[in-house]
């Protein structure tokens, strides 16, 4: 099939923005900003080949909306207007290759290494301990919720002023918005907890505040779990998740990207293999900063855990497609599906079968920054094997492919 016949290379509109194709770079935290969250040359160098390959849409790694929501080292921020000139260089780079750039704005809530980040305490919807980082958060007060909502709005406006083409609100992966949505992490009894509509209120207020600041025409999209994947705990149900998207759509949301899981879910979010993950985490990643119990557990049982997880969450192309298809049935706005995409055939089939409108990629594009061009031209580039060596080093070393065999072909 020629590129012209493939849906993957047909245009897609997200709000008033028309994208020249349907394979996007999804968010990957860069660990390439300066320690105080400014854009660096090193950060731009990561995006140059992805943009130059013609990738129609690039979503930044999560940008913190306030320092209290910064999860790890060298994360980029959109928390203060003094970041605008650096962010503008990022937008200019992508625009110089005719692509579009969305800022993923986020507050990590309880999923933070509070001590390593110099925070006295982490915040969340409620005081439910996060078991991976070992962080016991305190609940946000009502006035702090209002401040956080305002921080999201300011952050979106910062992205807009920097020339970004849109923003993505991160409502998945167990970060703060997800912590408010999920009954397991939200035990509040005030206006922000309890019923589904009360748990949704924080996200709705953020969305309204962003719209008020950035206007109706500025593309605003959501990254949302298709499943919370919290067995034995009270996660969001499938119908609740589609309802989140449906309600936001009725408020003017422009698109949704479907993912899966919280940190506490294990690894449905990054299905693959885990031998290199645990090794990399302890030797070069943030493993050394984990609390004693987690660190000792990984040191003692890493290989056994990897063997188990390899069986539980093996790699699979389009592993969130069943979730995305549910959203596709419920919504009229574009549904983007992330998860395991590697080959042009699988991407094309995902769209052609009607389970999503577009696909996005993290690890395959880290391994092969020219993935978009290679798929378009039918050229085989470096092939990600989903070893998770990249994410093992996230937050400690610059994002890159750390698999020698893949890098050196």
Ligand X SMILES: Cc1cc2nc3c(=O)[nH]c(=O)nc-3n(C[C@H](O)[C@H](O)[C@H](O)COP(=O)(O)O)c2cc1C
- Which residues would be at the binding site for ligand X (CB under 6 A)? 26-29, 61-62, 104, 170, 173, 223, 259, 269-270, 338-341, 361-364, 390-391, 394, 399
Query: In sequence order, what are the residues at sequence separation of 6 or more whose Cβ sits closer than 8 angstroms to the Cβ of residue 173?
Result: 111, 223, 225, 259, 261, 262, 263, 269
Nearer to ligand X, 331 or 338 (CB): 338
For tokens 């990054």, the residue is 270
Closest distance to ligand X from the beta carbon of 377 (Å): 20
Q: Which is nearer to ligand X, 51 or 336 (CB)?
A: 336
What are the DSSP calls for 158-204, one per residue? HHHHTT-SEEEEE--TT-HHHHHH-TTT----STTSSSHHHHHHHHH
Q: Give least dist CB 241 to ligand X, A.
A: 15
The C-alpha atoms of residue 69 and residue 63 are separated, in whole angstroms, by: 9
CB 409 within 8 A of CB 374: no
Query: Least Å distance between CB 200 and ligand X?
Result: 20
User: Of 19, 48, 28, 54, whose CA–CA distance to 106 is shortest?
Assistant: 28
Residue 188 or 363: the one with the smaller Cβ distance to ligand X is 363
d(CA 15, CA 100): 13
> Do residues 286 and 278 lie in contact, with contact meaning Cβ atoms separated by under 8 Å?
no
What's the closest the beta carbon of residue 373 comes to ligand X, in angstroms? 17
Backbone angles phi, psi at 72, to 5 degrees: -155, -175
Dihedral of alpha carbons 242, 332, 29, 387, sign: positive
- Shortest distance, position 257 Cβ to ligand X, whole Å: 8
Question: Residues near 178 by Cβ (< 8 Å), separated by ≥ 6?
Answer: 170, 171, 172, 185, 225, 228, 262
As measured in angstroms, the least distance from the Cβ of 283 to ligand X is 16
Query: CB of 142: closest distance to ligand X in angstroms?
Result: 27
**Residue 372, strand partner residues:** none
State residue 249 phi and psi, 5-degree precision.
-60, -40
Helix (H, G, I), strand (E, B) or coil at 92: helix
Q: How far is the CB of 195 from ligand X (least distance, A)?
A: 27
How many separate helices (H) and strands (E) can be counted in the chain? 14, 13
How far apart are alpha carbons 28 and 180 in whole angstroms? 23
For residues 359 and 22, the answer to whether their CB atoms sit within 8 Å is yes
Nearer to ligand X, 188 or 245 (CB): 245
> What is the C-alpha separation between 17 and 61, in angstroms, rounded?
21
Cβ distance to ligand X smaller for residue 222 or 298? 222
Place of tokens 């999503």: 356
Closest separation between CB of residue 367 and ligand X, Å?
10
In the bound state with ligand X, the residue whose beta carbon lies nearer, of 259 and 265, is 259
- Looking at the Cβ atoms of 188 and 221, the one nearer to ligand X is 221
Minimum Å gap between C-beta 246 and ligand X is 21
Query: Do residues 240 and 199 make contact, with C-beta atoms less than 8 angstroms apart?
Result: no
């Amino acid at each position: 099939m020629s590129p012209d016949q493939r849906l993957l290379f047909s245009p897609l509109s997200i709000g008033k923005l028309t994208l020249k194709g349907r394979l996007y770079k999804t968010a990957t935290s860069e660990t390439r900003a300066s320690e105080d969250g400014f854009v660096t040359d090193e950060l731009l160098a990561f995006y140059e080949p992805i943009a130059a390959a013609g990738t129609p849409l690039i979503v930044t790694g999560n940008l913190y909306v306030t320092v209290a929501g910064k999860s790890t080292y060298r994360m980029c921020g959109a928390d203060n207007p003094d970041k605008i000139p650096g962010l503008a260089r990022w937008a200019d780079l992508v625009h110089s290759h005719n692509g579009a750039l969305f800022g993923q704005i986020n507050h990590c809530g309880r999923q933070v290494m509070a001590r390593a980040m110099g925070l006295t305490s982490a915040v969340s919807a409620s005081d439910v301990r996060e078991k991976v980082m070992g962080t016991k958060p305190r609940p946000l007060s009502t006035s702090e919720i209002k401040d956080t909502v305002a921080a999201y709005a300011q952050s979106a406006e910062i992205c807009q002023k920097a020339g970004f083409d849109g923003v993505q609100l991160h409502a998945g992966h167990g970060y703060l918005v997800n912590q408010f949505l999920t009954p397991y992490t939200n035990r509040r009894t005030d206006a922000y907890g309890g019923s589904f509509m009360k748990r949704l209120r924080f996200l709705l207020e953020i969305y309204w505040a962003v719209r008020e600041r950035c206007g109706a025409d500025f593309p605003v999209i959501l990254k949302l779990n298709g499943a919370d994947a919290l067995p034995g705990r009270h996660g969001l149900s499938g119908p609740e998740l589609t309802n989140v998207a449906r309600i936001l759509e009725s408020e003017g949301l422009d698109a949704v990207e479907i993912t899966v899981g919280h940190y506490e879910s294990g690894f449905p979010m990054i299905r693959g293999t885990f031998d290199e993950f645990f090794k990399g985490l302890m030797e070069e990643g943030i493993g050394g900063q984990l609390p004693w119990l987690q660190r000792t557990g990984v040191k003692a049982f890493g290989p056994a855990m990897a063997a188990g997880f390899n069986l539980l969450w093996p790699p699979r192309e389009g592993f969130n497609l069943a979730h995305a298809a549910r959203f596709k049935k419920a919504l009229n706005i574009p549904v983007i599906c992330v998860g395991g995409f590697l080959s042009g055939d699988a991407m094309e089939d995902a769209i052609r079968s009607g389970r999503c409108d577009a696909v996005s990629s993290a690890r395959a594009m880290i391994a092969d920054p020219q993935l978009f061009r290679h798929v378009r031209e039918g050229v085989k580039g470096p092939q990600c094997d989903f070893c998770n060596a990249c994410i093992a080093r996230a937050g400690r070393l610059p994002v890159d492919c750390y698999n020698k065999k893949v890098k050196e072909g």
